Amino acid sequence: MSRKYRHKGYMNNDDDQRQRPRGKRNESFARGRVETSYRRTIRCVECSATVNFIDELKVTDTCKNCDADLHTCRNCKFFDPGAPNECMKPVSQRIESKNTRNLCELFQPKVLVEKAIEAKKNQTSDNARQAFEDLFR
């Protein structure tokens, strides 16, 4: 009796199972493990520049790129435009300007986890040619 559907798992019989031959993998498709590294960063809300104050952000800190204040509601991890007073935590006093420096006690910087991109240093023409040839092997 033939099976109506041939996908794996439908009316399996011991004699009907087909397995791939085990052995050496196809060399052209074998790939090495890619190491991915991540880093914690804080970004300026105004210009998206990376900020180096991950451990502690002081009230007086500003962005080195655009000179914007960093201790603001928009840089806080509790900032939510849809929440009451635009904050996920209960605040006693509403802060009018979300882009200017404030003394909020609940402030915690919004820390992002990003992939670390490592740039190769000064690749010579021979290395570039070798990388090109390796690409099409």
pLDDT per position as a tens digit, 1-33? 566 666 766 666 555 445 555 555 555 555 666
pTM of the model: 0.57
Please check whether residue 89 lies inside any domain of the structure.
yes
Q: Which portions of the chain are predicted below pLDDT 50?
A: 16-17, 121-123
Please check whether residue 29 lies inside any domain of the structure.
no
Our count of domains for the chain comes to 1
Q: What is the pLDDT of residue 31?
A: 61
- Domain hosting 72: range is 36-115
Spatial separation of the C-alpha atoms in residues 102 and 61, rounded to whole Å: 11
Please check whether residue 125 lies inside any domain of the structure.
no
Please check whether residue 71 lies inside any domain of the structure.
yes
Please check whether residue 26 lies inside any domain of the structure.
no
Query: Three-state SS for 109?
Result: strand
Please check whether residue 62 lies inside any domain of the structure.
yes
Contact 50, 113 (CB under 8 A): no
Please check whether residue 57 lies inside any domain of the structure.
yes
Please check whether residue 128 lies inside any domain of the structure.
no
